[in-house]
Structures are given as C-alpha cells and as structure tokens.
Structure 1
Amino acid sequence: MSDPRFTTLIDQVRTGAIDRRTFLARSFALGISAGVAGSVLATTVAAQDASPAASPAAAGGLSPENLGVEGVEHTTDTSKGNINIYSSWPLSGASEQIGGDSVAAVQFAVDLWGGAAGGYSITYEALDDGIAANNGAWDATAEANNATQVVNDAEAMAYIATYNSGAALASIPITNEAGLAQISPANTAVQLTKDNPANEEGYPEVLYPSGTRNYMRVVPADDLQGGASANFAFNGLGAQTAYVLHDNQTYGEGLATVFQTTYESLGGEMLGFEAFNPEAPEYLALATKIANVAPAVVYISAIVNLNASKLLQDLRDVMAPEDTAIMGPDGLINQAFI
C-alpha cells in the first residue's frame, strides 16, 4: 500500500469521489491484491455506515430489518469469534468488470448485515484465479492454490467459487476432501454435479473423493442452457442448418456438445463442429470456410476472455446478419465482449 496512486484511490473512495466498483477496478489495475483492496473497502463502508445518512435503512433501502425470515431478529453479536468467507474468480482483463462487480456485491451483502451472523463476525476476502497477462482468463494452478489457501484457514466457513466451470474442476476435489462448502454463482458445466452420457468417464463422482457432496451452484446447468439455445435456434429463428465453434474448454466444449445433440434431435442439420484457437491473431480463413457452407446460424460456445470478440468480428466480415444469425451463451454476457 506504499504506492501513492493507491493512497489517492483510498482517499477518493472514502470521500465518495469514486464508487466501490471503480475503486476495485483501478486497484487491480495497479496490481493491488483483492484482499488488500477488499479490506480497505470494508473499513471504508464501516466508517460510512456510522453515519445515518449512509445507512441503507435510513435511505429506505435494504437492511437486516426488511430482509431474512420474518420474526427472526438479526443479531450483531460477535462474541463467538470470527468466520472467514472467500471468493475466487478472475479479476482482471476481460473479467475486470464482472469480477469487480461480483466482489462488490459480496462485500455489500456482508456489510448490509453488519459483518455479523449467528454470534460471529464475518470477514470476506476476494481471491483472483485469473492471469492478467492472459486477458484475465482463469488458470487451474491459480485456482488450486486459492482453494488450498482457503481449506488451510481454520476460520474459513465457505468458498464462493468459481466463475468458470473449468476452474471448478481444479478446486472441488480440494474443498471436498476438507469438507468445506463451495458455492458457485456461475458454473454451468453438466459434469460438475450431474450424470450425463456426454460426461467424461467417472464424472461427477471423481470430483468428490470423500463420497459426500460439498459443492452447490445457483444457476442452471448446460443441459438446460444448451438445449434451450438449440431450441431457440431451430424453432425460434427457424434455422435449419448450424455451425458450432467452441473454445475447447470444459465449459465451451460441453455446452457446444449439448447444443449439437439437441439441435440434431430437433431435425436441424449440423454443418460443422470444431474448436477455434483462442490465441490466433485473426479468424478470416475459418470464417470464410464457414461462410462457404452458408449456415443459418453460428453458435459460439466460449468465454469472453478467449478472443471471442475477434472471432465474431471476422465472422461478420464475411457473413451478413440477414443471412446468418450468430448466437452465444452466458459466457459472452460481458461488457468487454461488446
């Protein structure tokens, strides 16, 4: 925290010159760890909340008084000790906005309840499992290291992770052996929790060496998303032919496979199914090859960090919107993609 630029950011967020998301984004750009930035935010919010004008309840917004179970009073007692909760997802590159927003959302929830629950104080720390030099894309080693750090914390109660399904493959076995609850706000790969003919052999059981499930997710899996996308393409758009591109990762390939299977079962014709190279400088040759078979729809099954924006641009250079629709999954719901 000796960087004068970071000191300036701290002053700005404490005086309200910048908001919390901007503070996090600029802190990460300076190389400040999520833990340090998060701790500054926590103390800042606590100081701001000491003023009634800054209180959500005073503003008529969310508060412990109008959340939770009716008739159950929220207690701010912390006499029983401390509980740590952690999160882990990419926080830089193409993931800077959605990662930073997610950190701010968790911190907001903790602050909203006064950093206390069940007689314990609640401390939150955000970890980064992405590689800035790789446009913020997740990294299996980084994720495994994060999970190991958390399970070795005796005060850790929950691990909010991961954003990317492939990263979950690295951490679930670690948290499972330790008996630590892992909750994902975004993982969609089928094999993380469900038996499916498309799964690699042994999944999902191989992820749970203890024999007891510890992992949960709060979003639908790709057997629903991929199927819904295929149904929309065939029945909604009336697209009789399709070409599928995927990023060759757990999420992208798995979702693409579900799309393909469902689309063909509906009567659609698959003109191509292949992985694209995320490190390629351009995709004009690939785009031209696809344009030559004239699919009614192209489905890009990928995450935004893996050059999907460039792929879309090159596809559009040779295929007009009125001739070919281009679709993508939730992995592309990101301002950086736009």
Structure 2
Amino acid sequence: MTAALAAGALTLTACGSRDESGGDTTGGDTTTVVIGVDAPLTGDLSALGLGIKNSADLAAKTANKEKYVKGVEFKIEALDDQAQPSVGQQNAQKFISNKDVLGVVGPLNSSVSQQMQKPFNDAGLTQVSPANTGTELTQGDGWKTGDSVRQFKTFFRTATTDEIQGAFAADYLYNQAKIKKVYLIDDQKTYGAGLAASFKTNFTKFGGKIVGSDHINPDDRDFNAVVAKIKKTGAEALYYGGEYPAAAPLSQQLKDSGQNIPLMGGDGIYSGEFPKLNKKADGDLATSVGEPVEKLDSAQTFIKNYEAAGYEDAYEAYGGLTYDATWAIIEAVKLAVEGNDGKVPSDGRKAVLDAMAKVKFDGVTGAISFDEFGDTTNHTMTAYKVKNNAWAPEFSGEPKLG
C-alpha cells in the first residue's frame, strides 16, 4: 500500500473560515478538504452502503494521521441515497453546492450513478465509484458494437465493468463448473440487466444454452411462479442479474421446489447478508471484483485497522475498493497541492480532476490506475461459493471472452 494504515479513530476538526488558497482553514496552515460519500445507508442494501461509508472514513483518517498531504486535513461527508436514483441526484447537488468538496466516492448502484454523472461532470467534480459496474457508464451504449466513447470526464471507478464480470461468470460456469444449460433472470435495473446481457452473450458464445429467461421486480419476494417455469426447462443453474435482497428468497424458493441447482449472480449478491437471508444458500455462486481481500498481502493492514477502528458494520464486498477509491482522490489532492506550492489551489476541483489521469499507486485491492475511459486497469475477478453458510473463494483470474 502507498502508506501504512492507522489503527483507531481520529477526531476530525470542524471546518473553519475560507482562506485564500480556496479551502477552509482549521487553524494554522491546515486546509480542510471534504470528500463526499454517496451510498445507501438505510434500506435493504444498507449493509453494502455502510461498508462503503466506513471504508472511506478509514482512508481519510489514515491520511490525516500520517499527514499524507501536508497542510491538508480530510473530512468525509456521507449522504444516504436509499438506492434511489432521484435521491442520488439530490445528493449530487448537495455535494456540488459545498465548495469544499473536491471529490465524491460512490454510489453503489449504477442506476443511481446515471443521475449523478452529468451534474458532477457539469460542475467539474471528480467522482470515483467502488461499485458501479454498468459498462455504459464509462463507454456509452456503443461498447456493445466496439464503438466505446468516454461519457463523462469526471467519472472513474475502481470496480471493473459488467462486460468483464459477465464474461468471467460465463467462463466459470461453462468451462469450470461444466454447466451447459442456464435459466436467466434480471431485475430490470441498470446493473442487473447489463450483467445478465453480458453473461448471455458470452455463455452462448462458449456453446451454452439459455433455456429460458424472465424479468422480476426487485421488490418482490414471492417467486413461486417463475420457479415453476424454471423447473420445466431442465436448467442446470439459474443466473440472476440483481442484488441480494431478491436473490436470497429466489434461491431458497428454487431449492424448496425440489430443484437442487445453484443460483449464480454478480457482486450485487456477494454479501454476508445473502446466506443470512437464504437458509439453503450452500452451493450458490457469485462473482466479485479483484482477488479476495482477505488473501491479499496488500489488504492485511486494512483489515486489521478496520477492525481496530471499531466500526459496527462489516466492510463487506466493496470495502477494499472503497478505500482505494477514496485514496485515489487523496492522491489527486496531493498532486494538486504539490503542483501549487504546497497549497490547495483556488480551482481545487479542476486541479484534482486534472491529477486523476496521473494517479497510480499500490492499493488494498492491488495496483490502482485508470484507463482512457476512467475504468480500472485491474480486471481480475473471483468466483465465490457458499459453503457452510458463508462465502468462500473458488477461483480468481481474468475472464476468457466467449
């Protein structure tokens, strides 16, 4: 990692008066830089959202403890988007209106991000998501035909795309699990639909067969009708594009019907909540970005200090990616300050955005840098299986495209 992580929680000083360098002063020569965090902090997806908030908080406290950017103290401002695009859009405006916010981490949901990207872009405010995987967010709809065009200069992510994740899942199911017939369901949201589409494209290219497909409402919890349809197809697995609140009861009702086949999904179901909500989760599969954090040497200090900080909620699937997303903004602030005689520039947002193209460091999840679209250059994925009611890693690597 770029710097050792600090154990324990630190007290952040409140913002003071505005100084000539463009930031707020907290006394002496210290300038406060605010990093916004947008995530679902309440509701069904709050387990993931709180892990994002806490991991960003740890990164800011670490930078402050180490005085990583001389003369700068980082403060986290977290807003709850409730996993609702309209709320995310309102939060974006709140961040934009706070002149001390020089970067925003989040959100969790690609559908929420779609409502935040343009306002941030218009304001020149850097956004780094640890969780958005919708390929079109960075490359536009043209990516499907090989005509990728960057959509917003302010958007970056430490999570890889659905194009890569769907291909990895298809490769794993067809070539390693030897499953040839799959039933396909998505929740009609940006993330779920995009993931299912990528999986279908690659699975059929490998030679697999989609024996049936359906769409569900992500708020539904009674799936007996679709489960009965699956039973008639002879499917060997169910691939679900969506998130764990619906995936868990869908999987259990599938098993309750006598179908002993796995449900597989993406990082949206890779949560400790999935096996808690599903009494028959054993054997189910998920993919998630990067290698298992617990197995990375680069992540051991993060894990130790997250635990030492005493957060009530787990760092969950996006903890390491969030720490790296936050640290990317911290690195950009450092570059901006170093290029302005050791002070936060008066045009801090522009300076931070300009610096993002130069950001490169060894993070919790591996080497962090961004390509011409703002996408992470790390394409490693991991397949997980539920064993004894907990996720266990099965295989890590980069996907073979169908």
Q: What TM-score, normalized to structure 2?
A: 0.59
Q: Deviations over 1:212-257 (max 9, x none)?
A: x111001111111000101111111111111111010000000000
Residues in 2 aligned to 1:155 and 1:293: alpha-carbon distance in whole angstroms: 56
Q: Counterpart of 2:250? A: 311
Q: After TM superposition, give the deviation of residue 194 of structure 1 in Å.
A: 2.0
CA contact under 8 A between 1:192 and 1:203: conserved in structure 2? no
Given the alignment of the two structures, is residue 330 of structure 1 paired with residue 294 of structure 2, yes or no? no
Residues in 2 aligned to 1:241 and 1:184: alpha-carbon distance in whole angstroms: 34
Q: After TM superposition, give the deviation of residue 331 of structure 1 in Å.
A: 0.3
CA contact under 8 A between 2:182 and 2:211: conserved in structure 1? yes
Tell me: higher relative CO, structure 1 or 2? Use CA pairs within 8 A at least 6 residues apart.
2
Q: After TM superposition, give the deviation of residue 288 of structure 1 in Å.
A: 0.9
Given the alignment of the two structures, is residue 108 of structure 1 paired with residue 58 of structure 2, yes or no? yes
Q: Deviations over 1:271-292 (max 9, x none)?
A: 1122112233411111011111
Q: After TM superposition, give the deviation of residue 319 of structure 1 in Å.
A: 4.1
CA contact under 8 A between 1:94 and 1:336: conserved in structure 2? no
Map 1:1-338 → 2, pairs under 5 A: 43=11, 79=29, 81-114=31-64, 117-130=69-82, 138-195=83-140, 197=142, 207-208=151-152, 213-305=153-245, 307-321=246-260, 324-338=261-275
Residue 290 to residue 158, structure 1, CA distance change in 2 (3 Å): same
Q: Deviations over 1:26-60 (max 9, x none)?
A: xxxxxxxxxxxxxxx763x88xxxxxxxxxxxxxx
SS at match of 1:238: coil
Residues in 1 aligned to 2:190 and 2:168: alpha-carbon distance in whole angstroms: 19
Residues in 2 aligned to 1:81 and 1:197: alpha-carbon distance in whole angstroms: 42
SS at match of 1:102: helix
Q: Counterpart of 1:64? A: none
Structure 1 runs of 4+ with >6 Å offset: none
Residues in 1 aligned to 2:89 and 2:162: alpha-carbon distance in whole angstroms: 23
SS at match of 1:331: coil
Q: Aligned-residue CA RMSD in angstroms?
A: 2.5
Residue 78 to residue 331, structure 1, CA distance change in 2 (3 Å): farther
Q: Which moved more, 1:91-100 or 1:242-251?
A: 91-100
Residues in 1 aligned to 2:105 and 2:226: alpha-carbon distance in whole angstroms: 38
SS at match of 2:45: helix
Q: After TM superposition, give the deviation of residue 203 of structure 1 in Å.
A: 8.3
CA contact under 8 A between 1:163 and 1:187: conserved in structure 2? yes
CA contact under 8 A between 1:252 and 1:301: conserved in structure 2? yes
Q: Counterpart of 1:6? A: none
Paired positions, count: 253
Residue 35 of structure 2 aligns with an amino acid whose one-letter code is I
Residues in 2 aligned to 1:78 and 1:124: alpha-carbon distance in whole angstroms: 21
Q: Deviations over 1:133-155 (max 9, x none)?
A: xxxxx101110011000111111
Residues in 2 aligned to 1:178 and 1:171: alpha-carbon distance in whole angstroms: 11
CA contact under 8 A between 1:78 and 1:120: conserved in structure 2? no
Residues in 1 aligned to 2:247 and 2:102: alpha-carbon distance in whole angstroms: 36
Residues in 2 aligned to 1:161 and 1:101: alpha-carbon distance in whole angstroms: 12
Residue 63 of structure 2 aligns with an amino acid whose one-letter code is W
Q: After TM superposition, give the deviation of residue 107 of structure 1 in Å.
A: 1.4
Residues in 2 aligned to 1:188 and 1:319: alpha-carbon distance in whole angstroms: 33
SS at match of 1:298: strand
Residues in 1 aligned to 2:91 and 2:30: alpha-carbon distance in whole angstroms: 26
Aligned-pair identity (%): 26
Residue 218 of structure 1 aligns with an amino acid whose one-letter code is T
Q: After TM superposition, give the deviation of residue 119 of structure 1 in Å.
A: 1.8
SS at match of 1:279: coil
Q: Which moved more, 1:307-316 or 1:111-120?
A: 111-120
Residues in 2 aligned to 1:192 and 1:304: alpha-carbon distance in whole angstroms: 22
